[in-house]
Structure 1
């Protein structure tokens, strides 16, 4: 059955399911296929944002669902369901045994948001490839990196898109034009000098009334941009920063101490940091505080936090590659051309892939 996972199987299969499909929900069952919990994508991502690992998320959902509702459910959840396909379960009473699942498809809707692709950088680390071609216009899987991002925005209901330009900007404008052939309205922010990763925000028109999704133009990702905007809205953040875990293996034992007394010795632990993946959502109120000229996004955010702006983290569970070097570019091409090493999802045939990397225990049929 589509979107059903056993509680005694790998909890990582839930994250894999939500990362690789557009479905809004899934179900956790016991050995007899009786319902234990219904998990919504939005709630699962909110739990991960709290720093809770997959297995603990499952345990919390099964043992203290009231607390999960208090932490993660918001009135916006009803609206969130409408944009993405929803899985409905048919039960065989008693015990709420699931005997069948089916898909409820929503009508396509436009998302009240704007997009901004940062495409003004030089990409010098890529050598001759970027001598006359901006890095966002390098070919990956038959089309430029920036086109992958634009298609992602449009597929997620974001069709009003800005593109920042500096180095070889004509290459970008000649490809995208006004955006109409890509199903979008594309406007350009032309920098007269390099403005950094946030300076071009000062060039935006004053008409911006909705959240702005900002993404670096050298990123290859399967991130569901619509999820990010909805997460931002539901959480009530002024700025949302997409993050993903980055483990560092220590070569030495690490000492924990309190007042000079050793409380624990951890031998060569793996320390996990949350890194910034350069995909943001900004509320319109933030744009009023962007100075003219050169400024980088991390610096801008750090100046806004003391002013009371709410800055939240969005855990990115999808694929992400920062194309900064030739090996990164080759890795991105392999990922895209190989279809991310997964079976294609076909909503029409109601089948769901199983990730090779995680061997996700999602039952299909």
Structure 2
């Protein structure tokens, strides 16, 4: 693994991770042991699927990244029937540029550890959609009792794969998931002590929007009307209390049209006309903060971090800056003015 002065410090997020786990414990869906046994009696270690006589199907899924973390699973409405740690021989896990996401690559003689989950067929189908840059491949894993099983893992399908560094947030999610599911401590220590990473930003380094019109406030009802479904109204989104307007698609013959169309079709149904902080907190889980229970259950620092992520990932990373305009703030009881330092033109 690459040499770097930056290594993971899990202690910073330990307490909030414990609180997050405690807050979801009563919300998790658990089958009774007899129901689990009735499913597993049809298991074949040489197959990644379990098919019951009544037609129900279940899939063995090998998590190599954030999906080995119970909070990440919960935030995506995934409730494994069974989960256990394994070693995957003849493969290695690699973090890919530019975002540092985990990928699996064939490497005879190598091995790495992760967590296997048994999911319903419906859950696996939803996961397929979430993992849009990946495709399923079958791999053999071995549990800590020496039993092998065929499972599905995801590998990236992007062209020209290059090696990158994971973010500290992402590696923290992986490590805490490994600890939660009792992955071998030696492997966890390797991730902590050897894996180079991109360090977290400090709060004073967070980017924020500026040039917000003075005294321009909009209600949640006004925000909701601008959800992108009415062709006469532009799409709005609210990030950290600040409302941005999307300029819309360029003409069909514009060189950026197809890219903009794909972005809009993905973005609009998820975030159009909404306060997006809670949704981003769910989709971009950060162990430093306790998972929010609703839109109001986010700290000011957590919201500021989400604003920084939105600027970095949505605005600056994809030429989107030319398509967004700050138009005001959301009218609510805790609305505050703040000093900002990112300009949209």
TM-score (norm 1): 0.25
Relative to total residues, which structure has the larger strand share, 1 or 2? 1
TM-score (norm 2): 0.26
